[in-house]
A = this chain, B = another copy of it.
Amino acid sequence: MALIVQKFGGTSVGTPDRIRAVAERIVATHTAGNDCVAVVSAMGDVTDDLLALAAAINADPPEREMDMLLATGEQVTIALLAMAIHALGHEAISFTGAQVGIVTDAGHTKARIQEVRAECVKDALADGRIVIVAGFQGRTPEGQITTLGRGGSDTTAVAIAAGISADICEIYTDVDGVFTADPRVVPDARKIDLISYDEMLEMAATGARVLQLRSVEFGRNHGVAIHVRSSFNDHPGTIVKEADASMEQAIISGVTHDTSEAKITIRDVPDQPGVAAQVFSALAEANCNVDMIVQNVSEEGATDISFTIPKEDLARAKRTVEAMVEHLGARAWSVDESIAKVSLVGAGMKTHPGVAAQMFNALAEADVNIHMISTSSIRVSCVVSGGQAEKAVRALHASFGLAEDEIVAEAAPAARGGN
């Protein structure tokens, strides 16, 4: 007997048949003696269809009205899923994000959750009902409808789980869990059974798309255990939770890669205080989501600044940089749209020197040239040419023995490289 939140994405509820299958899974969980809350996304392509309708009417629609429009997608799913559960002879009740008390700020289309008032969920569970909640949406304290941005349904699920102190938040997806690398690139990639929030955050931030970054943050901040698992079978998936003694601390948890970014380099910027602040303040104002930033040591009073950004922000970033290059006194700037970021993530690297060195060696042996390097305490990321991404991932996966149950760290004397 547990209190379980289950989240199903748009593909899982894409047709009436699939909604019925989801209903059967929820009812099975309920019949086994658990209290169940299901969080669902909009059906299949519904959100894209709504976006197309909006685009046909206004190229730059007000964000408040965009949220009013998009929130209908999940509302349709929750009603249909509740109907499907009733058809199986069980009591279900659906709630929109506004009704369920997902209170957000007023940042329409990308609102942040401020509070979860889940009284109605607790009441309905106490009545023996299955509760269905619309993912991706909430409301401001004043009652305006908001949406949480891309991947928001994962965040809703974790937030509801936190709000009702659920035992586990299950995120159903089309893969069996979180893997040591993308199985499409590395066929012998291994499913990870247990991973800490911090490692999962680094993996999500560097390319593992199975779980949304914000939902992991929310889980960490509120201590919600997350179980990423397949909606196609009953195999256990990957559990994301606080690192503890029970968790075997692998040196390396996984290799991730991300080809969705572009790199901009500004050359021969005068090495003076405030230059970086100027560049990145301007980019922030232009709503460019800067990821890696590398500035190397100065030569003859000038330095190069490189950074990566999502390709969707590239047009804005180019305009911003172009407008400031002369003012900065920089010599030139360039863009590389064909890059990949390849990252090694592992909590164990904190206490194992030499991981970075082994990574650079493995890339060198695979004849992969490194453009940029950036590290955190549990991650090393290298920017390489886009066409070499898969080769790099395979080389790293093999070098660190990730396909095996036991992680092999080669003895390597050098400290982790950094910038």
User: Which residues of A does B touch, CB under 8 Å?
Assistant: 16, 19-20, 50, 53-54, 56-59, 61-62, 64-66, 68-69, 71-72, 75-76, 78-80, 82-84, 86-87, 92-94, 96, 99, 143, 145
27 contacts between A and B (CB under 8 A): A16-B53, A16-B56, A16-B57, A19-B57, A53-B76, A53-B80, A57-B87, A58-B86, A59-B87, A61-B87, A62-B86, A65-B79, A65-B80, A65-B82, A65-B83, A65-B92, A66-B83, A68-B75, A68-B78, A68-B82, A68-B94, A68-B96, A69-B75, A69-B79, A71-B75, A72-B72, A96-B145
Give this chain's copy count: 2
A119 to chain B, nearest CB (A): 12
Alpha-carbon distance between A360 and B330 when the two chains are bound, in angstroms: 97
Q: Are B65 and A94 in contact (CB under 8 A)?
A: yes
Alpha-carbon distance between A80 and B65 when the two chains are bound, in angstroms: 7
Alpha-carbon distance between A39 and B245 when the two chains are bound, in angstroms: 61
Q: A145 — which chain B residues lie within 8 A by C-beta?
A: 96, 99
Alpha-carbon distance between A76 and B62 when the two chains are bound, in angstroms: 14
Q: Are A83 and B54 in contact (CB under 8 A)?
A: yes
Selected from B58, B87, B92, the residue in CB contact (under 8 A) with A83 is B58
Q: Are A143 and B75 in contact (CB under 8 A)?
A: no
Q: A53 — which chain B residues lie within 8 A by C-beta?
A: 16, 76, 80
Q: Are B58 and A68 in contact (CB under 8 A)?
A: no
Q: Are B87 and A58 in contact (CB under 8 A)?
A: yes
Q: Which of A54, A59, A65: most chain B Cβ within 10 A?
A: A65
Q: A84 — which chain B residues lie within 8 A by C-beta?
A: 57-58
Across the two chains, which residue of chain B brings its CB closest to A20?
A: B57
Q: A66 — which chain B residues lie within 8 A by C-beta?
A: 79, 83
